């Protein structure tokens, strides 16, 4: 009797959230210390290997108006439009 010893890796059931972020969206950003803030996405910057994959977002904080760059993986939620 033969036994299948192949390794099967499961595909994640969902894409990472940051792949769906576009300029003009409002997102929730989690900082490294656990705090979060709401920000509007101004610019989406692609990676060096594949420019279509976002790696950095230029965002404006909704409360303070401060503009800065964040890593794409810090986005935890996309705020829906009303």
How much is the pLDDT for 34? 84
How many whole angstroms separate alpha carbon 62 and alpha carbon 33? 19
- Helix boundaries (H) for 16-70: none
**pTM tops 0.85, yes or no:** no
The band of 14, judged by pLDDT with boundaries at 50, 70 and 90, is confident
The answer for residues whose C-beta is within 8 angstroms of residue 4's C-beta and 6 or more apart is none
Tokens found for residue 10 = 């499961």
């Amino acid at each position: 009797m033969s036994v299948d010893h192949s390794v099967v890796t499961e595909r994640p059931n969902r894409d990472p959230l940051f792949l769906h972020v576009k300029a003009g969206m409002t997102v929730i950003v989690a900082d490294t210390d656990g705090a979060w803030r709401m920000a509007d996405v101004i610019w989406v910057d692609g990676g060096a290997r594949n420019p279509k994959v976002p790696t950095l977002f230029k965002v404006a904080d909704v409360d303070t108006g401060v503009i800065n760059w964040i890593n794409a993986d810090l986005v935890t939620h996309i705020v829906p439009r009303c």
